[in-house]
Structure 1
C-alpha cells in the first residue's frame, strides 16, 4: 500500500469521525410538530367515571350543542431537550414540521418546569379572556379593573403584593389602565418608594415597596405584572387536559361558551377547528405553529379552520387538504364565518391569500 493510499484512508476515517461527532453536537433549534386536537364541545370523563362537559356554566341558561369544535395544539421540543443536526434536518424535510431558532421560543437557561408554568399561566389567562369575550358578545356587561397578574420572586413586590390584588391608585392618582401603572413607576429612580393603593378581599390598603433597576440596568421596576381583571356575571368553568397550555385556544374557548349559551346551535353538527389568542374585547391575535395546527385539524377531519388574519401569510402554505381555512379578526367574525358555512354558503367566505 502506497503512502498516498494510507494518507487517503486516514483522512477519510478522520472525516467520517468528524461528521459523526458533529452530528451529535447540539444545535440551537427546536421543532414544531402537529399536536393533538381537543373537542371543546365534548364530554370529559373524570377520575371517578363521571362525564362532564369541557365548558360548564352556572348562573345562566345553557342549550344542547351539536358537532365538533376543536382547539388545536402544536408539539414543541422541550426546553430541557437539545437536538442534533440530523434530527433537525429530518424535521426540515417534513412538510408538516417546522424548525425555528431556540431563542424565539425559550429564554436563555429556561427550564422545562419554568416553561410549563408559563404555559399554564397563559392558558389560564386565555380562558379568562375567552369568558369575557363570549359574555360580551352575548350582551352581558362585564366590568373590568386593573389587577396584579404576577409577582416575581426576589423583588420588592414579593410579600407586599399578591396576584389578584386590585390596583386602585399609584401615589394617590387613580389608575384607569394597566399601562398607567408601568408609566408612573418608570418616572421614578431606582431605590425610590412608590405608594400603591390596592383592594384585597374587599379591603382597601396601601403598600409602599421600593423600586429597583431592571435586570438590564435601565428603568425602575417593583417586580410585578399587571393586566385587566374582570367581574364575571356568570360562573364558567373550562376543564382541559393539564398537558395543554399556552394562549392560543382563547378564540375556540369563546366560541364553545357562546354556542353553549345560545338557543340556536352554532356549529350545527359540522366539524370545525381553529386557533387564536383572544382579548376581553373579542379581538383575535396571531399565534405560533399555525401550519402544524392546520395540518393536525385536517388530519382529524375538520371541514373548516378559523385562523387569525395576521397568520394568513403562513397559513396559505399549510397542508390543509380539503379543509377550508378562513381568516378572522375578532369573535364576531368567527361566529359569522361559522354561520355562513353551516348555512351552505362556503364560497362566500374569505380565504387566506
Structure 2
C-alpha cells in the first residue's frame, strides 16, 4: 500500500471513529423545546380548563394561553451529536442535566415535586384572582407536610388546622416555627389543632374548617441537623376557604409557571368585560397569593411556542424579560409584568388598542 493510500485510510478511519464517538458518547445534558399551549378560557381534552360553580360567569373570547416547555426525561442521556445540534438550534436549548434533575432526586420525586408545585400554583392563582376582584378569601394555618420518622409523625397529619402552639394563637405559618423554637430539644410542645378529617367535613358542610372541634397534641421536640434549633418535623402552610367552586383541569402539566394565566382566566370568566377583546394573548409566570408574578424557566421556548400558536402578545415576568428579548420571535410583543395589577393594566391597554403604552421587554 502506498503512503498516499495509507494516509487516506488512516484519515477515513479517524473520521469514522470521530463520527461514532459523536453519536455514541453520552453527555450530562438535557434539552428544552417549545411545548403545547392551552387557552385557559377554552377546553382541553373535552373539558373546560376553568370550571366555576356557585358564581355568575360571563362569556369570553380570544385567548389567554398558558405555555409549556418539553424537556427530555430524567433517565434520558443525550448523545454528543444531539447536544451539538441543540446548541446550534434556535428552537431548542441544552442545559446541564442537573439543572432540571438535581443529583439524588429520582424521576418519580421530580414528578411529584412538579405536581405539588402545579397544585400550589392553582391555589395561589385562585386567591390572586379573587383578591383582584375584591372577593374575600378566608385563610387558615395548616400542617402542609410531616417529615418521615420525625417526632410529629403519627401525631400530626397534613391538613390539620393549627390553632395554637403552647396556648398561643397562630395567625400565620411563620408563627409555628417561632413558637416551637422557643423550646430546647427534648422539651414538649403542645399543639391545638382541628384534625384534618374534621376540617374537611366542616368545609364540605359549608362551615368554617377552623371552627370545628379541636384537640391538644403533645410532641417532644428534637434537634435540627443543621443547628441546635428545636423542631418537631412539620412544614406549616396556608389553606384557603373559597366562597365558590373553581376547578382547574389540565392533565400532564407540572410546575408553577401557569399561575398568572390561570388567575387572569378566572378574572375574565367572572367579569362582564372581556379582558382581551378577542386578541390572542399568551404568557407565563408564577403567582403568589398577593399577586406577585415570579420568573420561570425556559422562557425563550415558551415565546416560540406562543408565536407558533398565533399569539400577538406575550405576558413576560419582569425578571425573565432580558433573556426573552434576546431572541424575540418576529411578530410577538413581549409585555413586561411584575404583578397581577400590572397584567390587568396591560390587558386593558391591549383591548383599548393603546399598545404604545405597553411596558415591553428589553435586553437590559
Q: CA 1:8–1:135 in 2, change beyond 3 Å: closer, same or farther?
A: same
Deviates more, 1:342-351 or 1:165-174: 165-174
The number of aligned residues is 347
Q: CA 1:207–1:274 in 2, change beyond 3 Å: closer, same or farther?
A: same
SS in structure 1 at match of 2:125: helix
- Structure 2 unaligned residues grouped into runs of 5+: 199-211
**CA shift for structure 1 position 345:** 1.0
**CA shift for structure 1 position 6:** 7.5
Match of 2:190 in 1: 195
**CA shift for structure 1 position 150:** 2.4
Q: CA 1:309–1:11 in 2, change beyond 3 Å: closer, same or farther?
A: same
1:114 to 109, 114, 120: 109
Match of 2:208 in 1: none
SS in structure 2 at match of 1:125: helix
Structure 1 distance, partners of 2:180, 2:67, is 39
2:322 to 298, 309, 313: 313
Match of 1:90 in 2: 85
Match of 1:250 in 2: 259
Match of 2:281 in 1: 272
Match of 1:49 in 2: none
Deviations 1:143-184 (A, max 9, x none): 222222223434333322222222222333322322332344
Deviations 1:126-155 (A, max 9, x none): 111111111111111112222222234343
TM-score by length of 2: 0.86
Structure 2 distance, partners of 1:286, 1:179, is 24
8 Å contact kept, 1:146–1:227: yes
Match of 2:143 in 1: 148
8 Å contact kept, 2:276–2:350: no
1:139 to 107, 111, 134: 134
Structure 2 counterparts to residues 176-255 of structure 1, below 5 A:
176-186=171-181, 192-200=187-195, 201=198, 202-212=212-222, 221-241=231-251, 243-255=252-264
Deviations 1:300-338 (A, max 9, x none): 110111011111121111342201110111111111101
SS in structure 2 at match of 1:265: coil
- Structure 1 unaligned residues grouped into runs of 5+: 47-51
8 Å contact kept, 2:25–2:80: yes
**CA shift for structure 1 position 227:** 2.0
Structure 2 distance, partners of 1:188, 1:84, is 54
**CA shift for structure 1 position 186:** 4.7
SS in structure 1 at match of 2:254: coil
Is the aligned partner of 1:330 residue 2:302?
Answer: no
8 Å contact kept, 1:79–1:110: no
8 Å contact kept, 2:164–2:193: yes
Structure 2 distance, partners of 1:284, 1:119, is 18
Deviates more, 1:280-289 or 1:148-157: 148-157
Structure 2 distance, partners of 1:239, 1:226, is 26
SS in structure 2 at match of 1:194: strand
**CA shift for structure 1 position 284:** 0.7
TM-score by length of 1: 0.88
**CA shift for structure 1 position 12:** 8.1
Is the aligned partner of 1:31 residue 2:41?
Answer: no
Q: CA 1:238–1:2 in 2, change beyond 3 Å: closer, same or farther?
A: same
Q: CA 1:159–1:8 in 2, change beyond 3 Å: closer, same or farther?
A: farther
8 Å contact kept, 2:38–2:44: no
Q: CA 1:9–1:119 in 2, change beyond 3 Å: closer, same or farther?
A: same
8 Å contact kept, 2:54–2:244: yes
Deviations 1:234-264 (A, max 9, x none): 21111112x1111010110000000000012
User: Cα RMSD over matched residues?
Assistant: 2.8
Q: CA 1:4–1:186 in 2, change beyond 3 Å: closer, same or farther?
A: farther
